[in-house]
Structure 1
Amino acid sequence: MSSWSTVAYGAALSAVLAAVVVGLLVRPRLPLVVVTAGVAAGLGPAAWNAILNAVDAPGFFTDAPIAVFPVSWQDTGSGVFATAVAALLLGFGPQRDLVGRKVATAALLTGLAALVVDVYLY
């Protein structure tokens, strides 16, 4: 199980990386889109880890035996939750007038950033 300080640390790292990635790769580069992606990348993994802590699910924290990509179910859930939160916040927020492909791209980049942080940085 993750301590709340670890959850907060991971959420903060995810938020920063997602904001950087979305800021670099999504066009047009709008500050509100970058901030929204960062918020989603923080909220999604925090919510997922809160669920795992509430139900006491240690089995989700077992890493796959792949040296270059030791992903766990916990890591995967963080990426999925970040993607879902980003799709909702961006799609109903600053990207509401864009085509779905652009919203999906920004949401996917947000989720990938959260996944990478979970797998490699904590």
Structure 2
Amino acid sequence: MHTLPLWMEWAVAALLVTGGVFTLVGAIGMLRFPDFYMRLHAPTKATTLGVGGVLLASLAVSWWRGEFGVPELLITLFLFITAPVSANLLAKAALHLGVPSKAGQPPTNQPKPGEAP
């Protein structure tokens, strides 16, 4: 069995803690945000980064042990490809169904009265 040197243990621990913090922020965002569109950001942004940190820690340990880390690379690849695509499809479906948003209307780029265009 290969033991990790102290610096590698600290690096892996830092990646795990960082991943855990991002995942926690994503979970809190799912609870705290007021509507569907805002809640969509929590799993697609913060939780993806959280799982990415945990996978990087696992990849570092497997590389140190002399393994190539194919499962970690495949999980990372599929996660970073499917999370944005699924979030985009969910947002489009919500827009199509007319799910209301509490964010309000975005600002327009029209000049205010009395301003030059």
Q: State the TM-score, normalized to the length of structure 1.
A: 0.38
Instruction: Determine which structure has greater relative contact order: mean sequence separation of CA pairs < 8 Å that are 6+ residues apart, divided by chain length.
Output: 1
Larger Rg: 2
